[in-house]
Structure 1
Amino acid sequence: MAAEDIGKSSREEYSMKGGNDVYSYANNSSYQRGVIGTAKELITDAIAEKLDFNNIVLSNTFRIADLGCSVGPNTFFAIQNIIEAVQCKGKCQGLDPQLLEFQVFFNDHTSNDFNTLFKSLPPDGQYYAAGVAGSFYCHLFPNSSLHFVHSSYAIHWLSKVPELVVDKTSPAWNKGRIYIVDSEEDVVKAYEAQYAEDMECFLHARAQEVVCGGLIALIFAGRPNGAPHSQTPHTFIFNLLGSCLMDMARKSKVSEEKVDSFNIPTYWMSPQELEAAVHRNGEFRIERMEKLPGVINFRDLSKSQVIASNLRAVLEGLIKAHFGDVILEELFELFRNKVEEQLPLIMSFINTDFFALLKRKVKD
């Protein structure tokens, strides 16, 4: 069985909240935009130093894919950075910038709000845009068709909840919790195994799609090498949300069984884990891996409200599909209150975002 077909039938979809309302991802992803901004210079340098322009661009069309693009506007910001860097690279190598055309593929799940995405396309975009619906754990593009792949704040999403954590007969059954707790080793191992399987599929698919010498830029939230999961702010926040659901279960607002069967399908990998996955795949070389500077952006709202709104933009669809939409307002108000109480501890966490540059090996 091919790597991209492993568990394909059981893959699940998780999309950010679409539209343009107060809780939409478009209006609650300024932090993610800031992280993309911190990586701008690294991507510019990567293209200038590592892109074998004359060898991989055999026509005047340069193809870019943004995997996990969501609804904008962050994806447009990232794409513009890439295009400007490629134009500069081409000009330095004597290519007339007017002759170079760009084709950009915006990829996300079929449930993504592509309508909002394409309605907000920059009117002066210097590229031909296309939407590609489907999981990036699958083969999405023709072989050897992509020159540059970008993905920001997306590969922490697993293809599905690890099956063992919702199996009542398994020692990894995550009863009463919705995410990883370090003390539960079987739960941690179940998440690690799902991550390893998914990254195998991701790299296998990209190895077919990216031209030899092409680049993949990954921006991801993770955790330092050797650090326990509890040291990431995301883990703390997810478990805080889980405690809110258990509070509601005790008040019979939701069933405890529903909470027991709900787990968040994300995994915060370490650079070491990514290196191991790339090594196992064997088709890419890691050209650069480094921690990104911290980003703080709370807009004009209270910190607790920003954290609650951001989490709602990310998880509302997942929660609504499992519990229905009746609990949303009460759940996130309860969560906001708990965040306010725990704010000093939350602010003591250091967000750990990483940049990784992979280069497709040239075949012998």
Structure 2
Amino acid sequence: MAKSVAFTVNGGDSLYSYSKNSTFQRKAIDAAKELINEAVFERLDTESFSSSAFRVTDLGCSVGPNTFLAVQNIVDALEQKYQSQGHNSQLLELQVFFNDHAFNDFNELFRSLPADRRYYATGVPGSFHSRLFPKDFLHFVYSSYALQCLSKVPEEVADINSPAWNKGRIYYSNSEDQVVKAYEAQYAKDMGCLLNARAQEIVCGGLMAFVVPGRPNGVPHTQVFSNKVVELIGSCLMDMANKGVISEEKLDSFNIPLYMASLDEVEAIVKANGCFSIERMENLTQEQPQANVIASTLRSGMEGMFREHFGDEIVDEFFDSLRKKLEESSSVLKPLTSISLFVLLKRTGN
């Protein structure tokens, strides 16, 4: 049985820490800033909420500084809205809940909290695929570059007796149809669990906004920038297996639990849930980063996963070979569009 997984980024402030290697994710937050502002002003009826405090959470917050930027965008929009309604924004009490897996470096997160923040900060450990908060508690749920992570590798993909066994590959985008379908089904299941949990936790009229790497409607999985990059990871591991650096068995038992959805897929899952109205959905185009930036970004986010599965001794060699392969593949990657999905949902009275 495939076990649950937790994407735990590199904490601290070392060379390959997430805090120093997450500029690509930060650009997605910047791209969504105006959309968040519009969501608060146009879609959020703050005067209908009975609570004296406004409660916000960032799901999959990691260690900063990106989470603080995303939260500040929401806080600024809320304060501006209160002022536009003739209220004193200084009287607005805000509580922000930073959520991630228990293995997340919460010590680093809280050490780097902005000193001039205008909100109360709380850490909430646990998987966002399950319940985290009391009923009717949250007013604004946010997540950036986290919901593409599956709760686990699809069980069929790791089962040697299954037609979806992903032998020799670590991902779905360049694999057999059965593997793709297994990943699609796991994503739909995980998103269904996430929406069911949030439907209980978000007050009626509350909002949920998320930004994730994805793919345009109708574009094949093989033509998605993020997927092509993960395929290069698999190619590097195959090279190391051919050299005897890692065993073939180790390679065959390793799959990356990520899925790049389209807006059509997200829309179908939301409608099946039935507890949210879709307020806005759109693709945000992003500029591709340089090969060395991609390699460092991936190392800051995935190094722990590679160490756990393959051992410490291969990590430097692997990421060095990945950087070189990314540089060699620049002509293949360049024509591909890198996009993020922006999705805004409102909790309905269903």
Is the pair's TM-score, using the shorter chain for normalization, greater than 0.5?
yes
TM-score (norm 1): 0.94
User: 2:292 is matched with which residue: 271, 285, 305?
Assistant: 305
What pairs with 1:148-227 in structure 2 (closer than 5 Å)? 148-182=140-174, 184-227=176-219
Counterpart residue type for residue 352 of structure 1: I
For 1:314 and 1:208, the matched residues in 2 are separated by 30
Q: 1:11 Cα deviation (Å)?
A: 2.5
> SS state of the match for residue 142, structure 2?
strand
> SS state of the match for residue 140, structure 1?
coil
Q: 1:174 to 1:183 in 2, by over 3 A?
A: closer
For 1:103 and 1:156, the matched residues in 2 are separated by 26
Q: 1:12 Cα deviation (Å)?
A: 2.0
Q: 1:332 to 1:10 in 2, by over 3 A?
A: closer
Are 2:166 and 2:175, in contact at CA under 8 Å, matched by a contact in 1? no
Are 1:162 and 1:191, in contact at CA under 8 Å, matched by a contact in 2? yes
1:234-272 Cα deviation digits (max 9, x unpaired): 111111111111111111111010000000000001001
Are 1:147 and 1:215, in contact at CA under 8 Å, matched by a contact in 2? yes
1:234 matched to 2:226? The reply is yes
User: 1:350 is matched with which residue: 337, 341, 345?
Assistant: 337
1:80 matched to 2:72? The reply is yes
For 1:304 and 1:38, the matched residues in 2 are separated by 22
What pairs with 1:127-138 in structure 2 (closer than 5 Å)? 127-138=119-130
Match of 1:15 in 2: 8
Match of 1:332 in 2: 319
Q: 1:183 Cα deviation (Å)?
A: 5.1
Match of 1:146 in 2: 138
> SS state of the match for residue 173, structure 1?
coil
Counterpart residue type for residue 54 of structure 1: E
For 1:91 and 1:336, the matched residues in 2 are separated by 49
Counterpart residue type for residue 116 of structure 2: D
Q: 1:314 to 1:26 in 2, by over 3 A?
A: same
Q: 1:317 to 1:97 in 2, by over 3 A?
A: same
Are 2:171 and 2:255, in contact at CA under 8 Å, matched by a contact in 1? yes
Aligned length: 350
Are 1:182 and 1:228, in contact at CA under 8 Å, matched by a contact in 2? no
1:318 matched to 2:305? The reply is yes
> SS state of the match for residue 352, structure 1?
strand
Q: 1:295 Cα deviation (Å)?
A: 3.6
> SS state of the match for residue 94, structure 1?
coil
Structure 1 gaps, min length 5: 1-6
> SS state of the match for residue 83, structure 1?
helix
Counterpart residue type for residue 314 of structure 2: I
Name the Cα RMSD after superposition. 1.3
